[in-house]
Amino acid sequence: MKTKKSSGNIFQDLGFGKEEAANLLIRSKLMIEIGKYIEQEGLTQAEAAKRFGVKQPRISDLVRGKVELFTVDGLIAMLSRIGMKVDVRINRSKAA
């Protein structure tokens, strides 16, 4: 079996275009942080929904990894509702 070195973005490795892959990676990282918070706090989906200001099915979609159903803006809003801050760092890509 032939292996290929990762680009550092699993979505790009799966064939998504650079822009879409970058957006998917950001969304997935935000979703992971929300999932960690839910787990660390021992919240049920209903409790998490109340804290994040969304309906329970949204939390279900989030913990099931349905990244296509979320926006960066929406995920940042959810994190801010629980007092978390999102910092953005911009770097020039090596390929640019």
3-state secondary structure 26-85: HHHHHHHHHHHHHHHHCCCHHHHHHHHCCCHHHHHHHHCCCHHHCCHHHHHHHHHHCCCC
CA distance 3 to 5: 7
Is residue 88 predicted with pLDDT exceeding 90?
no
pTM: 0.85
Is residue 63 predicted with pLDDT exceeding 90?
yes
CA distance 38 to 41: 5
pLDDT band at 96 (very low <50, low <70, confident <90, very high): low
Q: Which two tokens stand for residue 26?
A: 């950001």
